[in-house]
Structure 1
Amino acid sequence: MLNRRLLRIKAMQALYAFKQAEKSGYDVARDLIGESFEQLALVEGRDIILPEKQTAIGVALFDEAFKSGRMPADIEHPEARREAAAAFEYYLKQLQKDRDFVGRNMVLEAEKIYKHYVSVLALTLALAEQVQMEEDEKTQMHIKPAPLPGYMLKLHTNTILQTLRDFKPYEDERIRQDVTWEDTENAAFVRKLYRDSLKNDERYQEYIAAKQVSPEEEEKILRHIAKNIILKNELTKVFFEEDDITWNEDRDVIFSMVSKTFKSAAAGQPEMAALSPDWVEDRQFFRDLYSLTLSHEKEHEPLIATKLQNWDMSRVATTDSIMLHMALTEMLYFPSIPVKATINEYLELAKVYSTPQSKQFINGVLDALSAELTTAGRIKKSGRGLIDNQ
């Protein structure tokens, strides 16, 4: 199921995407100043040298506003200030749009994991149907005098899949998530996946060659198909990444959800897996981590800067900077999360998503920050957050 670590990863990726949008918006806004003066030169027939000077003044005023958060006064250059103010207003509006868009999209992308979970269940069933369809086609074309013995069609008659076919909550979710493998393009993909991957798979061949299989073997083959034929297959990777670029990192969560459903169906009590134990609470954590990190960025910047040991913030890798801001936000504004748990989580993220030196760097900065802020009484934990802060 979806856990807090994966949510932190997705929040980090969202913050990185926002930072890229922020930089792009900054560049576009500065360019607007020059474009405005070039247009004035064409319309009013001015000497091109004047627009270049006005543009330089306007860009300088814009940069000052960008750093301070408000437009400076400049009565000597009213036109330059006017264009700089217009560009700054555009920048702020675009920034808010990008912030809202990335925040909404981040949650939608996380919730898309559930749709992919339903898709993998449905794809497993579709592969089983493909087994039956291929044998039916051969029979109709008289390629074989008779269908293969019943035991050669075991995937289609797998009792777990039969239970799942008749499980109304699954069918309801399949319809609600708009999942189908029966349209022309998807059906072609199912055939290709069956013929190129499943049909010649050694583990699958052993399964269909056995005259009898235990309930445990029926579950094992489905887990094998889900993990190795679907989730780890390059065909499905390309197919699903067209819809979701985070497919690769979501696969473990999807597999755990699919496995849980197979296990419950094998026990005769099928149930659909939840995205997380409490998605309402986890979704709020997810949203708050993103929004509070951005809201307190300016306030946290000098705190982090004091612990960089002669390094300037501009020299810190973007990913490292984002992780430091996220961790500091957790320490200060998430009272139920222990400080040590926060630090450990971001050290794990640093090992995967940053440079080899980042783990030690981030650990040093966060240790220093947590000690200083705890002493100052700014870190206040409660409930579970007190576990390692005694």
Structure 2
Amino acid sequence: MINRRHIRVKVMQSVYAMLHSHNDDIIREEKFLKHSILKMYDLYVLNLQLLIEVQKLAAKKIALSKKKILATKEDLNPNNKFLNNKVINTLAESISMEGFVELNKLNYWEDNDEYVKIIYDELQKSDLYKKYLATEEDSFKIDKVFVLDFFKEIIAPNEKLGEYFEDKMISWVDDIPFVNTWVVRSLSKFKENKTFVLSSLYKDEDDENFVSKIFQKTILKHTEYEVDIENKTPNWETDRIADIDMILIKMAITEFINFPSIPTRVTINEYIEISKDYSTEKSSYFINGVLDKISKEFIKNKRIVKIGRGLL
């Protein structure tokens, strides 16, 4: 499922896009934001589905080899360890995943099967695959370790696959690392003799509402927040502050004021960490300093009111 950190990143990107396009249609932009989050779920399922498609291709290759006129002993008695992989077979038998694929018409691998072949070829050449086939032990644990390594070492870092995903949906460029982690976590949680059910996109209704509220409040109040920021940065012209830094600070102010259950320090730390990935080298120090000053003033003036102990 999507976490709060990635929700903040998606909102940051949407706020940036809206402010720079000078578009004032907040309803349309919010719909696009939610759509891009929903599409992350497609990317998650596509990665899981790719494991199944590679296994299907391997089964076809083995079946064709058996029909060769001059079939070898190996062709006639192939190593079916990959075809019998318990984790991938659990995915293939998942009604939850099959239903999602059909409902959302995720026929990417049928329409673009060359990417399945690319991954299959890379897998076949790998020492990982050869070692797995040579392993005599037949257990769920061995199968799971192999699938995790297969995804982490071959699928996730594949550049051609990454370029394909980016071409299909521009917002996936920033989603790929998060989704890869999501897939690894899902596979790690697999248990023997348990059916696989797709988890929900959001942890709960609060997280889903968090998307709309922080986006709307930041957009509607962003000019007002600029005054607060200017008062705490007397030696800086607002146009000298990096655009992403300004947006992150505004989003943090939105959280200070509108989310009483989120501790102030948690908010500050979250935006500091995001700035390390998306802004300048010194942004984290700047954002920390500004938000620290603003939070102290807001607490003093009672613009920040938190619920519960230790939330300030």
State the TM-score, normalizing by the size of structure 1: 0.74
Q: Kindly indicate whether residue 34 of structure 2 is the aligned counterpart of residue 107 of structure 1.
A: yes
Report which stretch shifted further, 166-175 or 336-345. Answer: 166-175
Q: Is the 8 A contact 2:66 2:75 kept in 1?
A: no
Report which stretch shifted further, 358-367 or 172-181. Answer: 172-181
Q: Is the 8 A contact 2:123 2:129 kept in 1?
A: yes
Q: Equivalent residue for 1:61?
A: none
Mapped to 1, the partners of 2:52 and 2:215 lie a distance apart of 38
Q: Is the 8 A contact 2:97 2:198 kept in 1?
A: yes
Match of 1:274 among 200, 203, 212: 200
Letter in 1 for 2:58: V
Q: Kindly tell me: are residues 230 and 143 of structure 1, through their superposed partners in 2, closer, same or farther at Cα, counting changes over 3 Å?
A: farther
Gaps of 5+ in 2: none
Q: Kindly indicate whether residue 115 of structure 2 is the aligned counterpart of residue 189 of structure 1.
A: yes
Q: Kindly indicate whether residue 20 of structure 2 is the aligned counterpart of residue 13 of structure 1.
A: no
Match of 1:326 among 238, 251, 254: 251
Letter in 2 for 1:137: L
Mapped to 2, the partners of 1:189 and 1:130 lie a distance apart of 11
Q: Equivalent residue for 2:310?
A: 387
How far the C-alpha of 1:140 sits from its partner, in A, is: 2.3
Q: Equivalent residue for 2:95?
A: 168
Match of 1:138 among 65, 72, 91: 65
Letter in 2 for 1:4: R
SS of the equivalent of 1:199 reads helix
Q: Which of structures 1 and 2 has the bigger CA Rg?
A: 1
Q: Kindly tell me: are residues 364 and 256 of structure 1, through their superposed partners in 2, closer, same or farther at Cα, counting changes over 3 Å?
A: closer
Q: Which has the higher contact order (CA 8 A, sep 6+)?
A: 2
Q: Kindly tell me: are residues 360 and 276 of structure 1, through their superposed partners in 2, closer, same or farther at Cα, counting changes over 3 Å?
A: same
1:29-44 to 2 correspondences below 5 Å: none
Q: Is the 8 A contact 1:151 1:211 kept in 2?
A: no
State the TM-score, normalizing by the size of structure 2: 0.92
Report which stretch shifted further, 346-355 or 151-160. Answer: 151-160
1:228-243 to 2 correspondences below 5 Å: 228-243=153-168
Mapped to 1, the partners of 2:76 and 2:206 lie a distance apart of 52
1:306-361, CA deviations, whole angstroms, 9 ceiling, x for partnerless residues? 11122111221111111111111111111111111111111111212111221111
Mapped to 1, the partners of 2:131 and 2:172 lie a distance apart of 30
Q: Equivalent residue for 1:64?
A: none
SS of the equivalent of 2:164 reads helix
- Paired positions, count: 311
SS of the equivalent of 2:201 reads coil
Match of 1:217 among 136, 139, 142: 142
Q: Is the 8 A contact 1:127 1:190 kept in 2?
A: yes
Q: Kindly indicate whether residue 276 of structure 2 is the aligned counterpart of residue 348 of structure 1.
A: no
1:277-296, CA deviations, whole angstroms, 9 ceiling, x for partnerless residues? 21x32121011111100111
Mapped to 1, the partners of 2:188 and 2:19 lie a distance apart of 42
Letter in 2 for 1:187: D
Q: Is the 8 A contact 1:257 1:274 kept in 2?
A: no
Report which stretch shifted further, 255-264 or 296-305. Answer: 255-264
Mapped to 2, the partners of 1:154 and 1:248 lie a distance apart of 34
